[in-house]
Every structure is written in structure tokens, then in C-alpha cells.
Structure 1
């Protein structure tokens, strides 16, 4: 393996400022699965909530498959005007109490996963990061009219004891974030993640209720005071829009009513409503198929 440290450049002055602070590192990468745009929306929210200074910038050109995720380029009349660019970096932000934290954001690596994991583990070690945390959304047969359930996972399983009885054991294609969390566990590093269970019929849209649910969990487990900002207002507007659109279809109303009955029954008797691995896998495959159609 080529030296993992050659994958990134860092700001030496900011690096020295962060030494000894034992920060929390939150990673919200745009990757394979993120129902409800949960992780992506949370990343945007955090970067808008405070000034973020770039601490580490990765050589994204070495990690990105441009044939898989192409930049958008604009043609105007008779010339190419501009193109989107990709950036994978770790920035330093502050919470509402002035506590600094790290945020890894950008597209997940398409290639060199082992080398990228080694690079990140080196950074985590050198900065003595006390906790690595992530969040995302998972498409599940639940209604939007009920509180968003959250499934947690951690390298220390004693920390996660209250997961809803929606997911037991299932094999799914790995995201880079899950692959890295697994590797962190082998190095005795504390890592946690929270997956909001997003209504499968809203998987391709932004579901703000899920964003609030995972943000509250991150604050609870890390001790950070990441601000909600205008997210509660966005939840109200988002739900109103969903209900307005839903009320125009009797078929959708019937589906949601059925999901409400299942949700309420599961909450009352959780041991009787554990879906099989096959059912969860089928839901996951439907989400991926819909995602691929949207990208075509």
C-alpha cells in the first residue's frame, strides 16, 4: 500500500491549535444509501450553523470515479461556462456552546478504501479524537405521521440498548462510513452511528424529521450542543407539504393508514413485528433501484 499520509494535506497552524482538545469527529459522506437525504441535509445544516475552517483536504482526484459520479458542466450559447467540483475534507466547526468539533464531508471514496481508512485512522490517532460519529437514513416501511425511529450502532455495543425492533441481522452492500466504523472497532476506537428509519415512499426526498432525530441523538451521545436552528420549522413545513400531496391520493392514504396500524402494533408488542432479513433486503434493493432511476 502506498503511504496513506500522501492522500491528504493539512493546515499546520490549525492542526496545532486542535492538538490536545480530543475533539469529536462527525463524518457525513455522500455515499451509497441515505434515505430522506438525512446525512446530506445534516451536513449542510452544520456547515451553515457556524464558520467551518478546513483542517484536512484529501486528494479527491485519487479517490473519485468520475465515470460513476460525473461533475455537472454548463454550456452557454457557444462556450463551457462552469463545472461543479468535488471536495473531500475535514473542517473544524463550533457548537452553540463554543466547543470545537471536526466534520468530515464530501463524496465517499470510490477507490482505495483500505488506504483511505488507514489515512483517517492515522488522523484520528494523531488528534486523539475521542469519538467518531455518523448519521444517515434507511428506507423502511414506516409512516411519516409517527415519530421517527432511530437505529444505533457502535463499536461499544453496551452504549446501544434501545434500538427499535425493526432490524435484527441483515447483509447489505457496505458504505464507506460503515466500513470505516468496522475498522475503528478493530483499533479499539469508539465509533457510533445513527440511522433514521425513513418512510420508504419518502426515501428520495428530504425528510427533515429524520434530520432532527439523528441530530438530537448525536448531541445526546457526544455532549455537543449542535444547534437545531430552523430545522423544527422546516419539519412543520415539510410534513404539511407531504400531507397536502398525500391527501390527493386515496391509494396513498390507505397505504399510510396501514403503516400507522403496523407501527402502533409494533410499539405495543415489538417482539411480534421483527421483519426478516429477506424483507429488509428487498426494501433496500427497491431503494437502490429507485435511486438509480433518478440518476439516469
Structure 2
């Protein structure tokens, strides 16, 4: 039987990780489940705090569909240069207290998900990772004026650090990140994750408030200490920007008010043990939100056009 080609190269000698126990690996795969770029921005924040060495590299040619997601490159006058090759790597980082942890980051594989999961298993077992923690975000009918809600999930119920607002079964599109959590559980490795709920009218913009909320959960789950100060400043600036644009657009403001009423009714229903779907608080339709927020989003993208 032919042997499967090696899809991940793992650095042989990483003394900083030899005695690290427990060891957390954070996973953020770009391309899906990342409304508001919340997870990608959170991962970038971790790297910005102190970029560490790459300890494992995946053979991205085996996973990436270049025609579906064409990497950018530069054409300078009369020649090509600066090709932004996609990279799927594991970095060794340290938290504020000096505790080492790993970050698996890069484009979500377009194919060979099962082979990718087996490759991640190699990394987990080689370095003795004790917990894998993933981040993601989805657009939801929620207002930005309320706390960021986060869905908790895990392949072992003992790992959960928060209650779920969902009941019953939801059929959802799968992802390599979700499959990885499932397979790791079957192989006896702990994995959990967090999905932030992003106001769907902000889903196409960077939303650092949600990035900070995700990292707060990663801190708890991974027993890490992360300096969020710069990210929180960025989040505050974004919130002020949104507030200014809402003040200049009454129609958009009314949509947000409707979402606030629905959110508050939902919270009251939860507190009283009633049905999670609040009655008599109709949500704005997707068409209505899309129409009313088109101008709003254009204003956020071009702040110089703000009304004086």
C-alpha cells in the first residue's frame, strides 16, 4: 500500500516546548466562519505581541485551490514581484507571563480535510499539546450596542466554560476547523472553541471588539494571559466611528433600535425560562437591513466624507 505523502514538516528540536505542560494550541483558519474578521484580527494581535519561530509548516500546495483564492502579487512597471504565497504554519508564541503556546494559522484547506486533520494530529502529538482552542465568528441579528455573545463548543462537555444558548440540532455548513475538533476528539485529544456573534451589518468590516471577546475566552480556556490593551483601544475607536455614523442616519438608527428590542426580549425570555424566540419583536428583514446599511457601510469605509 503506497504511503501517504508527508503534508507537514515539524521542527525536530524545540527545547522551549519540551518541558511545557500544559501546552495550548490556538487555531485560526482564514476563509470561513470569520465575520468582521474577528478571528483573523485576534490571531494577528497574538503575533503582533511578539512574533515567534515557526515550528511546523504544512504543504500548502496540497491544500490550497489557487484558482478559487488567487494570492496577490505585485506588477511593477514591467515585471512581476512580491508574490504573497499562502502559508499554513504553526508558530511558537509566549503569553504576557512567558508561558509558551502554539498558534496554527493560515488559509482553511480547500481540499483533503481528513489528511489535514491527520497532519495536525502529528503536531499535537509531537509537541504534547494538551488542549486545542479555536476561534471563529458568524453574522447574527444582534446590535453592536450589546455585549458580544459567544457560542462555546468542545469535543468533551467537561471542557465547556460557558452555557449554550442553542437547543436541539442545527444543520450547518462544515469547515476544516470544525472537522478538526471532531476528529481530535475521536483520537483522544481535547479541543474546544468559541464563535463570536457579529452584528450582520458590520460583518464586512474589521470588528476588533469581537476579537477582544474571543481572546478573553482563549485566555480562560488556554490558561494564558494576553495583553489586550492595544486591541481594546482599536475597538473603542471603531465603536466611536459607528456611533458617529448612526447619529447621521436616522433610518439606520431605527434598525439598530429594533435589533436592541429583539435582543432585550430574547434576554428576558432566557432569564424567565421561556421560549428563546421572543414574541412580538419582529426582526428587520435581510433586504431591509441590506438596503439601509449600504450607505452606512460606505461611510465607514470612507471616513473623510463624514458630515460635519
1:273 to 271, 276, 281: 276
Q: How does 1:201-280 map to 2 (within 5 A)?
A: 201-270=201-270, 271-274=274-277
For structure 2, the 5+ residue unaligned runs are 279-284, 295-308
Aligned CA RMSD, in angstroms, stands at 2.3
**SS at 2:248's partner residue?**
coil
Aligned to 1:147: 147
Runs of 4+ displaced beyond 4 Å: 1-5
Question: Which whole-Å CA distance do the structure 2 matches of 1:267 and 1:124 have between them?
Answer: 39
d(CA) in 1 for partners of 2:230 and 2:62? 37
Q: Secondary structure at the match of 2:221?
A: helix
CA distance in 1, matches of 2:172, 2:193: 16
Cα deviation code 1:111-152 (max 9, x no counterpart): 211111111112212222110001111111000011101110
Counterpart of 1:45? 45
Aligned residues: 279
SS of residue paired to 2:13: helix
Tell whether the 8 Å contact from 2:152 to 2:164 is kept in structure 1 after alignment. no
Equivalent residue, structure 2, for 1:96: 96
**Which residue pairs with 2:200 in the alignment?**
200
In the TM superposition, residue 167 of structure 1 has moved relative to its aligned partner by 6.7
Whether 2:68 is the aligned partner of 1:68: answer yes
- Structure 2 length-normalised TM: 0.84
Answer 1 or 2: higher relative contact order, Cα 8 Å, separation at least 6: 1
C-alpha separation in 1, matches of 2:143 and 2:221: 26
CA contact (8 A) 2:10 2:123 kept: no
How far 1:164 moved relative to its partner? 5.2
Q: Structure 1: any 5+ residue segments left out of the alignment?
A: 276-281, 291-296
Aligned CA distance change for structure 1 residues 159 and 12 (closer, same or farther; 3 Å): closer
Aligned 8 A contact 1:43 1:105 in 2: yes
Rounded to whole Å, the distance in 2 between the matches of 1:7 and 1:109 is: 12
